[in-house]
Structure 1
Amino acid sequence: MLDEDNCARGNNEKENNLSFYRDGYTIAATRITDFSSLTPLFKAMQELYTAISILTQSFGQRTHRQNKPIACKKGCSWCCFQPVYITTQEALLLYEYILNAFEPAQIKNIQDRAEKKLAKTKNLSEEKKQQIIHACPFLVDNSCSVYSVRPMACRIYLSQDEGTCKKKYDNPGCKTVVPALFDFPLKTGRYLNEGFVAFLKSKNKTMEEMTIEAFMVKLFNQPDYSAKWLTQNSAWNK
């Protein structure tokens, strides 16, 4: 009976994952009507982020009732020093946001911080990167300066215990030290994002994944990246 229960749970999990993947794909397919500008893409991303926000808020209410509240709060930044990976559409949104929301001096500071972190990590293996403790280029006074457009990875990294996050921060190279993260938001956000990316790939858009600092440096060095990305290979542009 236990094996049957485990099998049923496994099947339900697969169905849920596929459902979230489809939801991400559908949001993109419905909202991204063309690539004449970044506006349709960003509106679709806003809807995607709203969807995960509603899910995580509902999840947080449930865990609170179970006396297992989400420990994350403003000013807690233990997770903001590790490598965070983003995909192309997230990088484009972040880049456009900082260009429009920040003063030139602030933008220069972000670029400098991104370059400094990348210099530490760019030639390292993934295992070695995980051992580097260096602040995200968007972290200012222990708070996220791009919170409203933060990438999916940051939105779904929700902890049950701040102490375990600090322990990981203090022991980045120790594989046995693992933050007590909630599994449901991690999987939900990942599959939503994968579905969204799948739609962009179906439109022949080049989709890359790299760390925040690597992608930001790339965009700073290639200011025409977004314009080229919009016009590349899309069936809508033929």
Structure 2
Amino acid sequence: MNFDPKDLEKRFYSDGYQLAMKAVEAGLSGETLLSSVKEMHQLVDEVMEYFSDFAKKQNRAPACRKGCSWCCHQPVFALSYEMDVLNDFIEKNFDNATREQIAKRATEKNTKLKGLQGDALLNSKFPCPLLENGACMAYAARPVACRIYLSTSVASCQKFFSEPENEEAVPALLQFPMRIGRLINEGFKAALKTAGVKVEEMRIEEGAGTFRSS
């Protein structure tokens, strides 16, 4: 496969931008924006699948699988429109008791991380409020940060989990697809900001449980 990395970066940034502009041109209703974010997530998934297949041919296949949750214990950042999709999924797919439990876990993790900054925050290891029996309860609605985190070595992720202060303990991530996924999301965000939409970044536990109004 021959490609110009810079050309691909521009193309996928533009793809993200155009997806958000569809929502802007349609009037930016709540459901329209949710639909556009889901389209953006689908595009990211397709890109990750493509690069995963390519990595396999290079003997660098992603080792990620259901039940492997080492990465689900670190802070995960999402944009506010992604949290809208996540909370919409939680609201529509779980009963009150489960939603309350998720919100409780989110509050507990947020309390533990309160006041942490820099490396202390990024190296912290507490389970995501949506982690249940080693799997994500809201996998279909997970943010871009989760979708693009592709590791080729479970051992490297386990070491990063066990030795967060060890600078040599770094997950063996596929860097280029991660960058492409981020650029799709950056393009999406840029279009919304151009339309005057306020976009904030937050950790999952800061936004999980703040359910949208029906």
TM norm structure 1: 0.84
Aligned length: 211
SS at 2:151's partner residue?
coil
1:141 aligns with 2:133: yes
Unpaired runs of at least 5, structure 2: none
Alpha-carbon offset, residue 31 of structure 1? 4.1
Q: Quote the residue 2:65 is aligned against.
A: 73
Q: Which protein has the larger Cα radius of gyration, Structure 1 or Structure 2? A: 1
**Cα distance in 2 for residues equivalent to 1:155 and 1:131:** 20
Q: Say if 2:110 and 2:206, in contact at 8 Å, map to a contact too.
A: yes
Q: Which AA in structure 1 matches 2:145?
A: A
Q: Quote the residue 2:11 is aligned against.
A: 19
**Cα distance in 2 for residues equivalent to 1:175 and 1:112:** 32
Counterpart pick for 1:167 among 151, 159, 162? 159
Unpaired runs of at least 5, structure 1: 1-8, 228-238
Alpha-carbon offset, residue 30 of structure 1? 2.2
- Give runs of aligned pairs for residues 154-233 of structure 1, distance below 5 A: 154-216=146-208, 219=210
**Cα distance in 2 for residues equivalent to 1:124 and 1:60:** 34
Q: Which AA in structure 2 matches 1:34?
A: G
SS at 1:180's partner residue?
coil
1:28 aligns with 2:20: yes
Identity of aligned pairs, percent?
36
Q: Say if 1:21 and 1:191, in contact at 8 Å, map to a contact too.
A: yes
Deviations 1:87-117 (CA, angstroms, capped at 9, x unpaired): 0100111111111110111001100100010
Q: Say if 2:47 and 2:181, in contact at 8 Å, map to a contact too.
A: no
Q: Quote the residue 2:74 is aligned against.
A: 82
Counterpart pick for 1:58 among 44, 50, 65? 50
Alpha-carbon offset, residue 66 of structure 1? 2.1
Q: Say if 1:130 and 1:173, in contact at 8 Å, map to a contact too.
A: no
**Cα distance in 2 for residues equivalent to 1:122 and 1:148:** 28
Deviations 1:103-157 (CA, angstroms, capped at 9, x unpaired): 1110011001000100011211121112321000000000000000100000000
Q: Which AA in structure 2 matches 1:35?
A: L
TM norm structure 2: 0.93
**Cα distance in 1 for residues equivalent to 2:165 and 2:189:** 31
Q: Which AA in structure 1 matches 2:62?
A: I
SS at 1:86's partner residue?
strand
Query: Which of 1 and 2 has higher RCO (CA within 8 Å, sep 6+)?
Result: 2
* Bigger Cα displacement from structure 2, 53-62 vs 138-147: 53-62
SS at 2:208's partner residue?
helix
Q: Say if 2:106 and 2:129, in contact at 8 Å, map to a contact too.
A: yes
Alpha-carbon offset, residue 39 of structure 1? 1.2
**Cα distance in 2 for residues equivalent to 1:94 and 1:127:** 26
- Once superposed, what is the RMSD of the aligned Cα atoms? 1.7
